[in-house]
Amino acid sequence: SIDTMIPLKSRALWNKHQVKKFNKAEDFQDRFIDHVETTLARSLYNCDDMAAYEAASMSIRDNLVIDWNKTQQKFTTRDPKRVYYLSLEFLMGRALDNALINMKIEDPEDPAASKGKPREMIKGALDDLGFKLEDVLDQEPDAGLGNGGLGRLAACFVDSMATEGIPAWGYGLRYEYGIFAQKIIDGYQVETPDYWLNSGNPWEIERNEVQIPVTFYGYVDRPEGGKTTLSASQWIGGERVLAVAYDFPVPGFKTSNVNNLRLWQARPTTEFDFAKFNNGDYKNSVAQQQRAESITAVLYPNDNFAQGKELRLKQQYFWCAASLHDILRRFKKSKRPWTEFPDQVAIQLNDTHPTLAIVELQRVLVDLEKLDWHEAWDIVTKTFAYTNHTVMQEALEKWPVGLFGHLLPRHLEIIYDINWFFLQDVAKKFPKDVDLLSRISIIEENSPERQIRMAFLAIVGSHKVNGVAELHSELIKTTIFKDFVKFYGPSKFVNVTNGITPRRWLKQANPSLAKLISETLNDPTEEYLLDMAKLTQLGKYVEDKEFLKKWNQVKLNNKIRLVDLIKKENDGVDIINREYLDDTLFDMQVKRIHEYKRQQLNVFGIIYRYLAMKNMLKNGASIEEVAKKYPRKVSIFGGKSAPGYYMAKLIIKLINCVADIVNNDESIEHLLKVVFVADYNVSKAEIIIPASDLSEHISTAGTEASGTSNMKFVMNGGLIIGTVDGANVEITREIGEDNVFLFGNLSENVEELRYNHQYHPQDLPSSLDSVLSYIESGQFSPENPNEFKPLVDSIKYHGDYYLVSDDFESYLATHELVDQEFHNQRSEWLKKSVLSVANVGFFSSDRCIEEYSDTIWNVEPVT
């Protein structure tokens, strides 16, 4: 045992001084003040909210680290199969409040304190010291290390894996600049860099002792010229940087299990490169070192769009190489034979971004560990599994072989060899289907330059491929990957519908609702957050007036919280009339701005409504009559567009122009408001989502793989309007079709509809035609009447790819239904709201992790 290597005396001393977790307010205060006075070198006289946030975070981090150490030591001792979740994005949001909810406190002297109320304890302790918890929490900048759903999914998954005791680490990059902050200036999106580390980050453990060298460029050397690329080769790299580990403790809920999220940052090597000293002057060599850090400087701000930049490929390899090296080092400590690697290690690829890990593992096994090619490849394919997130062509990664081979010459050889063996197998199985080979090849030959199809490489290198909702998992089998289903058979392709963690999206985001649920279910320690099936008991109360009143009151409180936020962001002026909040439908669409997500459909609907209202007034209707037909409603938008995505940015501008006109039109007397909340992020989502009555998930059928904000809204008692797309399908199945407002064409008709548009380009419903004409009239953009022409033209003249015209009428009709139900059958509405929450359990990310564990990873919790 390793113990015996340490002298008895030292061991005794270490044990004696072992750090203990605090479990009382008093001990927390002691630690807090210690951090203020030593780590921060401040005092009670200059301890502001920011310092309090830092000291509180460090104190709680210390507690987590103690459990982190124990968890990791347990894993080392038990040596179970481990899961590594590779994701280029982890959209974590804020950490302190989440830690307060998740962390486990046990005071043997005061067992009541262990009844799951660490947050309350810390709140009281801070209060005694003169700080308000809410103000302290508000100091924390969001860890915006992701673009949208993909990154937030990864964040939910690490929470669930920690909660369930799965021995799992996340691996990602520590971007110095997270997703840009969005400002709205004159209605336009303007991007400002998000230098989120500007005030340090108390939640990370800088692991200077974990520095892994990563190489780029260079050439391949094979000791004996006669051998092939299949034999052990030596890659002589040209550029070398260090990957330094930063660890973020991930506490599970109601467990002392604390998992790890390891993010890599690029740093210059300090080693001296003798090969280069001849041509390197000092100034130049410093500049070269400084460039190293640029690898992890910026998160690429695209969502569902692959941008083929060399630096992006560099990020991907840097991250894959460092993570894999780390994984291999850990495996090698166990001294097991390589054949056992897939029994000990499962690596999940979140989208194709980490596909290079497949190639890197093959390279390490063949070139460095000297395994036979096929033996190595067998290990590789048993280890990896790949999650597909999209069927959209523009989002599928491809790399030109020229660029790729320059950066990673040995990896290109290996990919060619992987492809060669793969195509041989395909040809053997389907000897007559010549066309199949070029369709299925990892190398695309038809484009001007040959390209590597990363999704195909990911499939060939994995033992399982999953989609993220039932519809999507079916779609990939019948469209982009159908040849692979033909070759491998269908069992390689599975579905794991996405989920979200109820700890953040219910307990943290919606404390009032959590409280009501906990009281109603008589579940004071909130076990339902672990076992969401318990929520079905809420169904018993759908006719209970008293309960529905409370339920409604929770929603109202959350609306006030949101209205406060909007007021604050609008320089202290209310946009939304506070008088009738309970009677105002809060209709939301918050997510990345994307044509396929169809915010344009939403805003066209708003314009239609506004014009109709104006028309009624013009035709002599009273405001009461108007209100009857178009009752009080606030349309709230939030979301970022990729900085280079012209059409999406134009949609943002249109929303803001419409808001400007509608919100200032006194004739409609506040019956309709439009709000664009700038800089939508996780913290804002936590305020926006709980306030919704209705939310919009209206992507063109077949385009949204799953969506997860739909689940978040449902979990917070909001109803949804949506197309038959992504997880909307399963939400409908779970909570019942009576409780969801579905509309629009189905995915199986999309191709035909698009085809038809070629021949009937102007065949628009009159409702939409009037909206587009009004936009074309320039009323929303008097200074630049043609401003929104591209949006109009894309529908009128460019084939309406996203089928806005096809779905517009049913969209309007469904909204009419919504209005009537909300305003005239409120108890029915509330019943639907309760049933939504009652049946949302399936969408807990805990369920996802169980499915991944059982069907893909073959791992079990370690308790």
Which amino acids are annotated catalytic? 389, 591-592, 597, 708, 712
- We find the least distance from the C-beta atom of residue 787 to a second copy, in angstroms, to be 16
- Interface of this chain with a second copy, residues 455 to 484, rule: CB under 8 A: none
Nearer to a second copy, 483 or 679 (CB): 679
- Interface of this chain with a second copy, residues 172 to 231, rule: CB under 8 A: 177, 180-181, 183, 185, 190-195, 198-200, 205-209, 211
Nearer to a second copy, 642 or 677 (CB): 642
Look up residue 141 and give its DSSP letter.
P
Q: How far apart (Å, rounded) are the C-alpha atoms in residues 757 and 521?
A: 53
- Interface of this chain with a second copy, residues 46 to 75, rule: CB under 8 A: 48, 50-51, 61-62, 65-66, 68-69, 73
Crossing angle between the packed helical segments 545-569 and 826-838, to the nearest 10 degrees: 90
Q: How far apart (Å, rounded) are the C-alpha atoms in residues 302 and 644?
A: 9
Nearer to a second copy, 130 or 225 (CB): 130
Nearer to a second copy, 27 or 523 (CB): 27
Q: How far apart (Å, rounded) are the C-alpha atoms in residues 116 and 413?
A: 55
Q: Copy the structure tokens of residue 192.
A: 């400002």
Length of the chain: 863
- We find the least distance from the C-beta atom of residue 60 to a second copy, in angstroms, to be 11
Q: How far apart (Å, rounded) are the C-alpha atoms in residues 401 and 274?
A: 30
Kindly state whether residue 344 participates in binding a second copy, applying the rule CB under 8 A: no
- Interface of this chain with a second copy, residues 274 to 313, rule: CB under 8 A: 274, 277, 281-283, 285-286, 289-290, 294, 297-298, 301
β partners of residue 657: none
β partners of residue 181: 192
- Window of 7-15, 113-121, 377-385, 580-588 that interacts with a second copy by CB under 8 A: 7-15
328-332-338-343 Cα dihedral, nearest 10 degrees: -80
Look up residue 177 and give its DSSP letter.
B
Amino acid at the residue 333: K
Nearer to a second copy, 102 or 362 (CB): 102
- Window of 24-32, 149-157, 477-485, 674-682 that interacts with a second copy by CB under 8 A: 24-32
- We find the least distance from the C-beta atom of residue 274 to a second copy, in angstroms, to be 7
Burial of 786 (0-12, 13-18, 19+ CB in 10 A): exposed
Interface residue with a second copy among 6, 275, 533, 746 (CB under 8 A) is 6
Q: How far apart (Å, rounded) are the C-alpha atoms in residues 52 and 696?
A: 39
457 three-class SS: helix
Interface residue with a second copy among 24, 29, 515, 850 (CB under 8 A) is 29
Interface residue with a second copy among 140, 142, 247, 693 (CB under 8 A) is 247
- Interface of this chain with a second copy, residues 92 to 151, rule: CB under 8 A: 128-130
Interface residue with a second copy among 270, 279, 393, 446 (CB under 8 A) is 270
773 Cβ contact list (under 8 Å, min separation 6): none
Nearer to a second copy, 42 or 450 (CB): 42
Interface residue with a second copy among 115, 222, 267, 561 (CB under 8 A) is 267
Interface residue with a second copy among 22, 23, 40, 384 (CB under 8 A) is 40
- We find the least distance from the C-beta atom of residue 812 to a second copy, in angstroms, to be 36
Nearer to a second copy, 643 or 761 (CB): 643
Q: Choose among 216, 102, 212, 206: nearest CA to 155.
A: 102
Nearer to a second copy, 142 or 526 (CB): 142
Q: Choose among 209, 213, 326, 217: nearest CA to 269.
A: 213
Kindly state whether residue 77 participates in binding a second copy, applying the rule CB under 8 A: no
CA distances from 807 to 164, 700, 744, 767, 800 (A): 42, 9, 5, 11, 11
- Interface of this chain with a second copy, residues 631 to 660, rule: CB under 8 A: 643
Kindly state whether residue 14 participates in binding a second copy, applying the rule CB under 8 A: yes
Nearer to a second copy, 19 or 817 (CB): 19
Q: Choose among 345, 343, 353, 342: nearest CA to 387.
A: 353
Q: How far apart (Å, rounded) are the C-alpha atoms in residues 567 and 586?
A: 15
- Window of 30-38, 334-342, 434-442, 456-464 that interacts with a second copy by CB under 8 A: 30-38
Is the distance from CB of 30 to CB of 224 less than 8 angstroms? no
- We find the least distance from the C-beta atom of residue 567 to a second copy, in angstroms, to be 21
Is the distance from CB of 709 to CB of 590 less than 8 angstroms? yes
- We find the least distance from the C-beta atom of residue 228 to a second copy, in angstroms, to be 38
- We find the least distance from the C-beta atom of residue 642 to a second copy, in angstroms, to be 9
Strands 451-453 and 398-400: antiparallel
Nearer to a second copy, 40 or 830 (CB): 40
Interface residue with a second copy among 24, 33, 364, 521 (CB under 8 A) is 33
- We find the least distance from the C-beta atom of residue 803 to a second copy, in angstroms, to be 30
- We find the least distance from the C-beta atom of residue 1 to a second copy, in angstroms, to be 10
> 787-794: long-range contacts at Cβ-Cβ below 8 A with a sequence spacing of 24 or more?
787/650, 787/653, 787/657, 788/650, 788/653, 788/654, 788/657, 790/646, 790/647, 790/650, 791/600, 791/647, 791/650, 791/651, 791/654, 794/595, 794/647
Nearer to a second copy, 311 or 533 (CB): 311
Rounded to 5 degrees, what are φ and ψ at 80?
Answer: -80, 175
- We find the least distance from the C-beta atom of residue 288 to a second copy, in angstroms, to be 9
β partners of residue 186: none
554 three-class SS: helix
- Interface of this chain with a second copy, residues 669 to 728, rule: CB under 8 A: none
Burial of 50 (0-12, 13-18, 19+ CB in 10 A): middle
Kindly state whether residue 624 participates in binding a second copy, applying the rule CB under 8 A: no
Query: Interface mask (CB under 8 A) for a second copy, residues 567-606, using x and -?
Result: ----------------------------------------
Q: Choose among 339, 243, 260, 371: nearest CA to 296.
A: 243
Kindly determine how many residues on this chain lie close enough to bind a second copy according to the rule CB under 8 A: 78
Kindly state whether residue 18 participates in binding a second copy, applying the rule CB under 8 A: yes
Nearer to a second copy, 41 or 434 (CB): 41
- Interface of this chain with a second copy, residues 778 to 837, rule: CB under 8 A: none
Q: How far apart (Å, rounded) are the C-alpha atoms in residues 369 and 53?
A: 47
Interface residue with a second copy among 17, 335, 428, 760 (CB under 8 A) is 17
- Interface of this chain with a second copy, residues 513 to 572, rule: CB under 8 A: none
Look up residue 700 and give its DSSP letter.
P
Is the distance from CB of 467 to CB of 473 less than 8 angstroms? yes
821 Cβ contact list (under 8 Å, min separation 6): 828, 829
Nearer to a second copy, 4 or 758 (CB): 4
CA atoms within 13 A on the CB side of 265: 20
- We find the least distance from the C-beta atom of residue 207 to a second copy, in angstroms, to be 8
- Window of 269-277, 554-562, 592-600, 652-660 that interacts with a second copy by CB under 8 A: 269-277
- Window of 41-49, 429-437, 515-523, 728-736 that interacts with a second copy by CB under 8 A: 41-49
Q: How far apart (Å, rounded) are the C-alpha atoms in residues 527 and 567?
A: 36
- We find the least distance from the C-beta atom of residue 99 to a second copy, in angstroms, to be 14
Q: Choose among 705, 691, 699, 750: nearest CA to 721.
A: 699
- We find the least distance from the C-beta atom of residue 315 to a second copy, in angstroms, to be 14
